[in-house]
Amino acid sequence: MTHSTGRTVAANLSISLDGRYHGAGGPGDFGAFLPYVATDTARDHMASMCAGATTAVLGRVNAEGFLGYWPSVAEDEGADPRDRAYARWLVDTEKVVLSRTLTTAPWPRARVVDAPAPDVVRELRGAGDGEILVNSSPSVIKALLAADLVDRLYLLVVPAIVGGGERLFDDGLPGSTWDLTSQRAGERGEVAVVYDRAR
């Protein structure tokens, strides 16, 4: 049996006012989110979420997108310092990529696991230290919410109703309550919030 070391499981996602993480055009439809994800508020939010995290958990699609983009930012001296810090964190930290199709990880300090997200996260909680950050991978976050394994939510709420697309909070989730531990509103109306699970 795995014994918990008390590691916090955090999840990060940007959502619209109607609770969606992409638009009606499908998983690649992020047009409504783009004006808000590079603001000072969003960048500060990103910096705070990785400050204590020592493990990143990613779905395959998100891993391919992130790890195809961020390593070059880590080396870009002209990039925003917060972006560079996040990029260096992502490159250097332990990464667990959940995938049924990959057999080896094409990135340094990454391993591929073909197992249900709740099982993987329970195992990670039982060893090591530092926060486990499920980084913008909604399918993984949704599975962990359904299993009541998320301790902290980092949400960037953008002031848009997209009217279609998938929602983060599906019907049928177990009931839960959350404490607001941080909030910051940006000049464009985006709000960065951190909620901790009240247990």
Q: Could you report the per-residue pLDDT of 2-43, keeping only the tens digit for each? A: 334 579 999 999 999 999 999 999 988 999 999 999 999 999
| 8 Å CB contact between 123 and 2 | yes
Report the 10 Å Cβ neighbour count for 171.
5
| 8 Å CB contact between 181 and 155 | no
Find where tokens 């989730």 sit.
173
Sheet containing strand 9-16, edge to edge, reads: 110-113, 94-98, 53-59, 131-135, 9-16, 152-158, 191-197, 178-185
Nearest-angstrom CA–CA distance, 10 and 53: 9
The beta-strand segments (E) located in 82-175 are 94-98, 110-113, 131-135, 152-158
CA angle (83, 87, 89) in 5-degree steps: 120
pLDDT tens string 116-150: 999 999 999 998 899 999 999 999 999 999 999 99
Nearest-angstrom CA–CA distance, 139 and 163: 20
Compute φ and ψ for 135, nearest 5 degrees: -100, 95
Calculate mean pLDDT across residues 161-169: 95
pLDDT of residue 41: 97
Find where tokens 């607001």 sit.
180
pLDDT band (50, 70, 90) for residue 179: very high
pLDDT tens string 51-107: 999 999 999 888 888 888 888 999 999 999 999 999 999 999 999 999 999 888 888
Q: Average pLDDT of the chain?
A: 93
Nearest-angstrom CA–CA distance, 116 and 151: 18
Q: Tell me, which fold does domain 9-197 have in CATH?
A: Dihydrofolate Reductase, subunit A (3.40.430)
pLDDT of residue 4: 44
pLDDT of residue 5: 52
Nearest-angstrom CA–CA distance, 8 and 26: 31
pLDDT of residue 103: 85
Calculate mean pLDDT across residues 160-172: 95
Find where tokens 């060893």 sit.
127
pLDDT of residue 35: 95
